């Protein structure tokens, strides 16, 4: 399944009457695991052996996530599971006469997180995509410093990397990228960003805003269905791929061909890929926002 599509287990979270037999939900769980294995199976095998990966690791280390956040299947709120005692030790689940499901009490406890997610995603979705940043946030993180965030050589060297930052405008709109800019790079950015003003600048063209959809899903588990989490994770993989191919790092030994944003052709290629990712992100953001809005309403009246 491609990112941006709706997974078969993404039923309306408000439908409390949906019930899955043990055979039905186990089949969905197994399909889910096969899908994740197709996406990152070799990576997970290498990770278990202690092998680091400068591109994919980010989706677990930066987001403080575990592979289990992607591997574990959840039906989402409003789905009742039969023969499902194995879910009871997990947060949010309870047993009633109808079966095992995520309880209203857990929805109520996540009210603030749901409201904050709705506010941020709603503000992001309301803005047009900006496609003129060219991924320069990664360059700004190594500008005029001898330190690097990855143990990978710089494709243009130190001096060449600094020249790119000095010759092109910095237009980063994502605080969680901006906060890692070096001291000399920060004043060069179009706006001085802060956590407090994040909601005023977030926009759907930003690769990191799209990657954050994955974080919203797994932090709100088990309220959201696992199929939606993997949709967002798959798109985050795609965004991270472009993020690092357009970065100053030389990752060709790992099979990542650079997008040379220091050239007109490279910038055009970046915008084409960024635009396609933003379009897919718009669809997924709308689905996450719809579900969270519904859940926030349930939490408010529970």
Q: Are 242 and 135 in contact (CB under 8 A)?
A: yes
In a domain, 7, yes or no: no
pLDDT given at position 21: 97
Structural domain contains residue 10 = no
- What is the number of other CB atoms lying within 10 angstroms of the CB of residue 296? 21
Burial class of residue 91 in the structure, from the number of CB atoms within 10 Å of its CB (0-12 exposed, 13-18 middle, 19+ buried): exposed
Q: In what order do the strands lie in the sheet with 18-20?
A: 18-20, 79-81, 99-102, 93-96
User: Does 22 map to a domain?
Assistant: yes
Cα separation, 215 vs 194, in Å, equals 19
Give the span between the Cα atoms of 279 and 195, in whole angstroms.
26
Asked if residue 196 is part of any domain, the answer here is: yes
pTM of the predicted protein model: 0.92
**Residue 97 in domain:** yes
Candidates 149, 157, 144, 195; CA nearest to 174 is 195
Residues 140/165, Cβ–Cβ less than 8 Å: yes
Phi and psi at 194, nearest 5°, equal: -145, 165
Residue 3 lies in a domain: no
Task: Provide the residue range defining the domain that includes 63.
Answer: 18-301
- pLDDT confidence of residue 275: 98
Instruction: Supply the pLDDT for residue 17.
Output: 66
- Domain assignment present for 12: no
Count how many domains the chain has: 1
* pLDDT value at residue 57: 95
Q: Cβ neighbours of residue 47 under 8 Å, at least 6 residues apart?
A: 53, 57, 67
As a dihedral over the C-alpha atoms of residue 173, residue 177, residue 179, residue 183, rounded to 10 degrees, the angle is -90
Question: How many angstroms separate the first and last alpha carbons of the chain?
Answer: 35
Give average pLDDT by consecutive 10-residue segment, the chain, 302 residues.
38 60 98 97 96 94 91 97 97 96 97 98 98 97 86 94 98 97 98 97 98 97 98 98 97 96 98 98 98 96 79
The pLDDT assigned to 94 comes to 97
Residue 91 falls within a domain, yes or no? yes
């Amino acid at each position: 399944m491609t990112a941006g599509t709706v997974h078969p287990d993404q039923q309306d979270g408000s439908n409390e009457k949906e019930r899955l037999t043990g055979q039905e939900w186990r089949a969905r769980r197994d399909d889910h695991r096969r899908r994740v294995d197709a996406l990152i199976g070799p990576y997970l095998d290498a990770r278990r052996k202690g092998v680091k990966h400068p591109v994919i690791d980010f989706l677990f280390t930066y987001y403080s996530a575990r592979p289990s956040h992607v591997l574990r299947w959840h039906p989402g709120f409003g789905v009742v599971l039969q023969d499902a005692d194995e879910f009871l030790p997990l947060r949010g689940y309870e047993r009633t006469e109808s079966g095992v499901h995520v309880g209203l009490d857990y929805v109520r406890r996540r009210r603030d997180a749901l409201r904050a997610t709705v506010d941020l995603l709603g503000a992001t979705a309301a803005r047009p995509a900006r496609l003129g940043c060219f991924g320069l946030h990664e360059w700004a993180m190594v500008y005029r410093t001898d330190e690097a965030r990855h143990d990978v050589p710089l494709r243009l060297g130190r001096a060449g990397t600094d020249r790119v930052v000095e010759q092109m405008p910095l237009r980063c709109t994502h605080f969680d990228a901006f906060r890692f800019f070096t001291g000399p790079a920060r004043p060069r950015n179009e706006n001085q960003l802060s956590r407090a003003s994040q909601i005023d600048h977030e926009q759907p063209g930003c690769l990191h805003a799209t990657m954050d959809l994955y974080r919203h899903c797994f932090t709100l588990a088990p309220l959201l269905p696992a199929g939606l989490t993997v949709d967002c994770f798959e798109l985050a993989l795609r965004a991270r791929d472009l993020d690092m191919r357009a970065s100053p790092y030389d990752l060709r030994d790992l099979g990542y061909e650079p997008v040379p944003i220091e050239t007109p052709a490279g910038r055009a290629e970046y915008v084409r890929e960024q635009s396609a990712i933003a379009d897919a992100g718009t669809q997924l953001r709308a689905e996450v926002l719809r579900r969270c809005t519904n859940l926030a309403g349930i939490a408010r009246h529970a």
